Amino acid sequence: MDDLAEIGLRCGLCVLACTAVFATVTHGISRIIRRHEETGEVCLECGYCLRGLTSPRCPECGTPFDAALLRPQDKSTGGVADESGQQG
């Protein structure tokens, strides 16, 4: 009976660890998506990242967007500048 209890404990700990990893990863992904949605850097139809595009149309689904609402991309480093021009 002790072997069965040990197996159950190990399985329970494994499930708990997997759940914690899954929750952490999905929380991180949702934060990234939410940040891009708030800044208007993703297509509202399909979620494609619009940063750095030169054409005001999503290449994934074809939905038009206002390119003036995107933050400018810093050409020297490939990053995105914030409203003050600082790399962010």
Dump pLDDT digits (tens) for 44-60: 888 888 888 888 899 99
Residue 81: burial class (beta carbons within 10 Å; 0-12, 13-18, 19+): middle
How many other β-carbons are positioned within 10 Å of the β-carbon of residue 50? 24
Instruction: Give the mean pLDDT of the chain.
Output: 75
pTM of the model as a whole: 0.40
Spell out the domain ranges in the chain.
2-69
Q: How would DSSP label each residue in 10-76?
A: HHHHHHHHHHHHHHHHHHHHHHHHHHHHHHT-B-TTT--B-TT-SSSB-TTT--B--GGGSPPB-TT
Lowest mean pLDDT among 29-33, 41-45, 73-77: 73-77
> Tell me: the pLDDT tens digits for 25-37?
888 878 777 766 5
Tokens representing residue 59 in the block: 């290449």
